Structure 1
Amino acid sequence: MTASHDPLVQLNDVRIERGGRAILRDVSLSVPRGSITAVLGPSGSGKSTLLAALTGELRPAAGSITLFGQPIPTGSSALREMRRSVGVLLQGNGLLTDLTVAENVALPLRTHTRLPMPVLRRLVDMKLHAVGLLAAADAWPRELSGGMARRVALARALALDPPLMIYDEPLTGLDPIASGVIMSLIQRLNHSLGLTSIIVSHHVHETLPICDQVIAIANGGVVFQGTPAALEASDDPLLRQFLHGQPDGPIPFDAAPRAKVA
């Protein structure tokens, strides 16, 4: 692990609500610079809610969130500027079907910079080369496999050279080989580009081998923060249930009753 002890992301006693209902409560965690941090948890545990808070889409009802040593800004222009430093790989890739692979990767550069066309094309080629898809620059999204489309989306997320990358369920819909390629890419790019990466996932066994730190979320809060080895060695019933996919245990299968809104 080459991570610095200086946290790039810090949450202190954060409470996040949706529709007046608390999704996450008393969340405190830190993400060291240069690390790969996995945020794991069962479906519906609040992982996507946490992601939305990190990108400024959701404001915490209580507590504080800092990125790059600063609170997440509230003004729209300042928030847009901060988001240039955060690359997000979405679950559904979000590729525009009427643009080629190269045009999709170029989109953030066209939107946020005024680079000359030769420079822009060179940067696009570099990003596609980094994910092994330079030869597919002129292809259309419909011509790509699921794994290839995910790599194009990764190249686009890296277009502005963000120091922080957030991966939202990067393995959804991928076969085991494509999953292995994506996780290897995440690890290699994190180390070679000096990134800090947060992987939001429920794919435990594919994610643990590449990460430095694990944060497990369940039942509305953080239930574990530590190394992958410490997680696997834990005898906590909740963690054992999640790691081994046991149907019965502290994590309920049935949805909790919704609180009535007055």
Structure 2
Amino acid sequence: MSPDTPPQDIAVRLTDVRLDRGTRTVLSGIDLTVPRGSITAVLGPSGSGKSTLLAALTGELVPAAGQVEVLGQAVPQRQRALLELRKGIGVLLQGNGLLTDLTVAENVALPLRTHTKLPRPVIDRLVAMKLHAVGLRTAGDLYPRELSGGMARRVALARALALDPPLMVYDEPLTGLDPIASGVIMSLISRLNDSLGLTSIIVTHHVHETLPVADRAIVIANGRIVFSGTPAELEATTDPLVLQFLRGEPDGPIAFDTAERSRETA
């Protein structure tokens, strides 16, 4: 992205960011710009720090150095301001996070009931629209236990979209899904990004499923960004470190240290 890009065209900007977990530095020297309207894939092996980066975007983790800007403002530390910013960020968790004692419709309605004062008929209408957007309009009366893995992921997506956030962050959206369900989810992410004018960040280690829908890709390894460019540029890379990740090779410049990775769930 050009350094002359107007600020209003940037959804997320990280400048020389260092992220620590306790006394351990997970990521350092992170510079990242995400254009509005784009889909950016954040790729890397398990334990590389992808979820730590996500925590910085949502304000869960305060950077040890550098600055994180989301939707035109530095991520605030004051709780009230942070909660207000988070209304503009939809997060799809890899575990879905659906409440098992609520129906599908009640799960999707939860953010609307919590953060708005809209009357019940309006909320019901909005819930129907969100479920329709993910292809599940007739599933409102079902409970999470009655859903397949792919259906549950789509319900979680509908709930994440409930407040019409301009920024969507997907944390390992394909975890536990079969190839068909994975294809449905990725197609849905792409379609919703275009039709709703969203900006999307997909945090994942599923390279081949994600690159076809992405505009930009970054690869995180060894505590830093080791690649940033287009999917085509990534697929053409000759960097040994990046190739090791893309090919899933156990030996190479990316160390496999089970004890170290157990401390980081990214």
TM-score bracket for the superposition, by shorter chain length = over 0.9
- Deviation of 1:254 (Å): 2.1
Question: Is it true that 1:213 corresponds to 2:216 in the alignment?
Answer: yes
**What amino acid sits opposite 1:111 in the alignment?**
T
**What amino acid sits opposite 1:101 in the alignment?**
V
Aligned counterpart, 1:80: 83
Aligned counterpart, 1:112: 115
- Deviation of 1:256 (Å): 7.1
Superposition pairs of residues 36-75 of structure 1, within 5 angstroms: 36-75=39-78
Aligned equivalents of 1:102, 1:256: Cα separation in 2: 42
**What amino acid sits opposite 2:170 in the alignment?**
Y
Question: Is it true that 1:103 corresponds to 2:103 in the alignment?
Answer: no
Superposition pairs of residues 217-236 of structure 1, within 5 angstroms: 217-236=220-239
Of the structure 1 ranges 237-246 and 165-174, higher mean CA displacement relative to structure 2 is found in: 237-246
Question: Is it true that 1:237 corresponds to 2:247 in the alignment?
Answer: no
Question: Is it true that 1:203 corresponds to 2:213 in the alignment?
Answer: no
- SS at structure 1 position matched to 2:155: helix
Aligned counterpart, 2:130: 127
Q: 2:161 aligns with which of 154, 158, 163?
A: 158
- SS at structure 1 position matched to 2:209: helix
Instruction: Report the CA distance shift for 1:102/1:255 in structure 2 as closer, same or farther (over 3 A).
Output: same
**What amino acid sits opposite 1:29 in the alignment?**
L
**What amino acid sits opposite 1:138 in the alignment?**
D
Question: Is it true that 1:149 corresponds to 2:152 in the alignment?
Answer: yes
- Deviation of 1:71 (Å): 0.4
Deviations 1:95-126 (A, max 9, x none): 00000000000000000001011110000000
Question: Is it true that 1:138 corresponds to 2:119 in the alignment?
Answer: no
Aligned equivalents of 1:17, 1:79: Cα separation in 2: 20
- Deviation of 1:68 (Å): 1.4
Question: Is it true that 1:18 corresponds to 2:24 in the alignment?
Answer: no
**What amino acid sits opposite 2:43 in the alignment?**
L
- SS at structure 1 position matched to 2:32: strand
- Deviation of 1:88 (Å): 0.1
Aligned counterpart, 2:264: none
Q: Normalization by structure 1: what TM-score?
A: 0.95
- SS at structure 1 position matched to 2:238: coil
**What amino acid sits opposite 1:82 in the alignment?**
L
- SS at structure 1 position matched to 2:175: coil
How many residues of Structure 1 are paired with residues of Structure 2 in the alignment?
A: 255
Flag structure 2 segments of 5+ consecutive residues without an equivalent. Answer: 262-266
Instruction: Report the CA distance shift for 1:257/1:132 in structure 2 as closer, same or farther (over 3 A).
Output: closer
- SS at structure 2 position matched to 1:102: helix
Aligned equivalents of 1:78, 1:19: Cα separation in 2: 25
Flag structure 1 segments of 5+ consecutive residues without an equivalent. Answer: none
